[in-house]
Amino acid sequence: MSPAGTTATEWETVIGLEVHAELATRTKLFCGCPNRFGDEPNTNVCPVCLGLPGSLPVLNEQAVTLAMRLGRALHCEVRRSIFARKNYFYPDMPKNYQISQYDLPINVEGRLELPQSGSRVGIERAHIEEDTGKSTHVGGGGRIHEAGYSLIDYNRAGVPLLEIVSKPDLRSADDARAYVSELRAILLATGASDAKMEEGSLRVDANVSIRRPGDAFGTRCEIKNLNSLRSLGRAIEYEARRQIELVESGGTVRQETRHWNEDEGRTGTLRTKEEAEDYRYFPEPDLVPLDPGNEWIARVDAELPVLPAERRTALADAAGVAPNVTAVAIAVERRLDGLALAAIAAGGEPARVLTHVEHNLAVEGAEALDPAGLAALASMETSGELTATQAKEVLVEMVASGDDPATIAKAKGYEAMGADELAAAVDQVIAANADQWTRFVEGDDKVRGKLTGFFVGQVMEATNRRADGKAVTARLRERAGV
């Protein structure tokens, strides 16, 4: 596989992501209707969010606070901003204009660090806007243009959204997924959104283009209908390939919006209109400007929680590793960094602790594990009392029962094995397998490698898995004189 973002013929994929996150407010952006998912259709509506004649919007203070909080978590500059009308006709839009922010958004010029690659993705802007209602197509062949009719529910109309637009700094599907994961972690950490792609409170559109490295950006296509991280990755890879094939065969990429088809695994053109939309943006006359000022911003900063990047740094520092190490990223992602930090502080050897967090704690209840217990387990490993394999099993039991490692190890019979006992066990197995032993002694490295596995397995069985594989191998070689 070629380096991320390039193909064999040296094309670079350029990706920018537009993420819409529903803000976790109690009520809608411009009215006091509940911001709630799953209620009976059209029961959370009022004149304002229905866009009835004479109604007027009034801005939700908490939506502004959450928007600012997320903006500051992304290191954005919070600016004086205004609202604007985006005018177009669609039945899920009660006013046939959406109140959004256009040329003066609330948050600009931020950044997000990808956890593992460590690369920085620029955030162009993160602005506030209202969500639309939901339309359901009924009847017909299921495809939009064959539908019998449509039904509209306005419960979602007016729900506050934050639209986060990245700069086109991403270069691979993996990076794009990492970006969305990290953004999601930040949204959760700040409480700005519950960010569930499967429930629609986190929506991702991808802008994809290709170019030869060093060239100006190519024409981009917007991909919509990405309902999971997996779809995001697949769609980007498909689209990049599509564009490359198109250009390599002499065609040009047309700027358009394309729809990702999960079943067919391809993007397709949405039914195009004759003319591009002209949104006729103008400042929203019914809403006055937002100018949070230094005090409000300072309060938001003071209330910022510890963010994923900071948590990674803290754990990495304590463990003496770089922050972009996989184990660290996973620990923070699974919210086990607190556990890991405490275990290390209690004397647990950092490498062992991180290994367990990365590989052995993807189980329910892991966060409730006693850090002292984890530290003690790690110590039993470093002292040789437990092998890695045994430690893993003890850990599982620790999470399930809450007992300490020593008790569990004893119950399982995983006591420490002394050097003499181990040597005797190996000798016994050698004696019992004379033919294999002869081949081991006389064979070359390859033969010995294979037979080592056989002997280690036999010793493991004989000692109820108490033997340490490395120690067994060392004993074999000693006996064979190699």
Partner 1 sequence: MPRMAQITRDEVAHVARLARLLLTDQELDTFTEQLAKVLDHARDVEALDVADVPPTAHPYPLVNVVRPDEERPCLDREVVLAGAPATEDGQFRVPPVLGDAP
Partner 2 sequence: MTASTDTALDIAATVRAGTRPAVDVVDEHLAVIEALDGEIHAFNLVLADEAREAALAIDRRVAAGEDPGPLAGVPVALKDNLCTAGVPTTCSSRILEGWRPPYDATVVEKLADAGAIVIGKTNLDEFAMGSSTENSAFGPTCNPHDTSKVPGGSSGGSAAAVAAGFAALGLGSDTGGSIRQPAALCGVVGMKPTYGRVSRYGLVAFASSLDQIGPFSRTVADAAALYQVIAGHDPCDATSIPEPVPDVRAGLVEGVAGLRVGVVTELCEAEGIQPDVMARVRQAIDALEDAGAKVDEVSVPAVVYGLTAYYLINPAEASSNLARYDGVRFGLRVDAPTTGEMYDRTRTAGFGAEVERRIMLGTYALSAGYYDAFYGKAQRVRTLIIRDLDAAYERFDVLVGPTAPSTAFPFGAKTADPLTMYLNDVCTIPSNLSGHPAISVPFGTGDDGLPVGVQVMAPALGEATLFRAAAAVEAAAPRGKEDA
Smallest separation (angstroms) from partner 1 to the CB of 259 = 7
Residue 147 DSSP one-character state: -
How many whole angstroms separate alpha carbon 240 and alpha carbon 234?
10
Smallest separation (angstroms) from partner 1 to the CB of 348 = 43
CA of 165: how far to CAs of 16, 25, 64, 210, in Å?
A: 8, 21, 17, 19
How many whole angstroms separate alpha carbon 124 and alpha carbon 167?
5
The tokens 């809403």 sit on which residue? Answer: 287
Interface stretch with partner 1, choices 7-15, 150-158, 209-217, 360-368 (CB under 8 A): 150-158
Smallest separation (angstroms) from partner 2 to the CB of 22 = 22
Interface stretch with partner 1, choices 7-15, 139-147, 187-195, 472-480 (CB under 8 A): 139-147
Smallest separation (angstroms) from partner 1 to the CB of 197 = 19
Between helices 173-190 and 229-248, what is the axis angle to 10°?
A: 150
Query: For residues 221-230, b (16+ Cβ closer than 10 Å) or e, as one string?
Result: bbbbbbeebe
391 closest CA partner among 344, 353, 364, 362: 353
Smallest separation (angstroms) from partner 2 to the CB of 271 = 12
Binding mask 269-288 for partner 2 (x = CB under 8 A): ---------x-xxx--xxxx
Smallest separation (angstroms) from partner 2 to the CB of 281 = 8
How many whole angstroms separate alpha carbon 86 and alpha carbon 97?
5
Q: What is the DSSP string of 284-340?
A: -TTS--B--HHHHHHHHHHT----HHHHHHHHHHHHTS-TT-HHHHHHHHTT-HHHH
Q: Are strands 84-87 and 97-100 parallel, antiparallel or unpaired?
A: antiparallel
By the rule CB under 8 A, 82 interacts with partner 2: no
Smallest separation (angstroms) from partner 1 to the CB of 91 = 5
How many whole angstroms separate alpha carbon 310 and alpha carbon 315?
9
How many whole angstroms separate alpha carbon 443 and alpha carbon 198?
58
Q: Are strands 221-226 and 257-261 parallel, antiparallel or unpaired?
A: parallel
Which of 280, 359 has the CB closer to partner 1?
280
Choose from partner 1, partner 2, none: what does 455 bind? Cβ within 5-8 Å by kind: none
Strands (E) in 93-197, as ranges, are 97-100, 107-113, 120-130, 134-138, 149-153, 160-166
Total binding residues toward partner 1, as defined by CB under 8 A: 64
The residue within the footprint of partner 2, chosen from 34, 37, 59, 181 (CB under 8 A), is: 59
The residue within the footprint of partner 2, chosen from 43, 58, 317, 450 (CB under 8 A), is: 58
Choose from partner 1, partner 2, none: what does 259 bind? Cβ within 5-8 Å by kind: partner 1
Smallest separation (angstroms) from partner 2 to the CB of 245 = 33
The residue within the footprint of partner 2, chosen from 1, 9, 54, 249 (CB under 8 A), is: 54
By the rule CB under 8 A, 27 interacts with partner 1: yes
The residue within the footprint of partner 1, chosen from 18, 92, 237, 333 (CB under 8 A), is: 92
The residue within the footprint of partner 1, chosen from 14, 21, 22, 44 (CB under 8 A), is: 44
By the rule CB under 8 A, 97 interacts with partner 2: yes
The residue within the footprint of partner 2, chosen from 2, 96, 383, 389 (CB under 8 A), is: 96
107-113 β-sheet, strand order: 77-78, 107-113, 120-130, 160-166, 12-22, 202-211, 221-226, 257-261, 266-269
Total binding residues toward partner 2, as defined by CB under 8 A: 29
For the chain, report the end-to-end CA distance as a whole number of angstroms: 40
How many whole angstroms separate alpha carbon 181 and alpha carbon 310?
16
By the rule CB under 8 A, 33 interacts with partner 1: yes
How many whole angstroms separate alpha carbon 45 and alpha carbon 257?
31
**Spacing of C-alpha 253 from chain mean position:** 30
Interface stretch with partner 2, choices 88-96, 193-201, 260-268, 449-457 (CB under 8 A): 88-96
Choose from partner 2, partner 1, none: what does 64 bind? Cβ within 5-8 Å by kind: partner 1
- Binding residues vs partner 2 (CB under 8 A): 47, 50-59, 85, 87, 89, 91, 94-97, 150, 152, 278, 280-282, 285-288
- Binding residues vs partner 1 (CB under 8 A): 25-27, 31-34, 40-47, 50, 58-64, 82, 88-93, 132, 135-137, 140, 144-145, 147-154, 224, 257, 259, 270-271, 273, 275, 277-280, 283, 285, 287-292
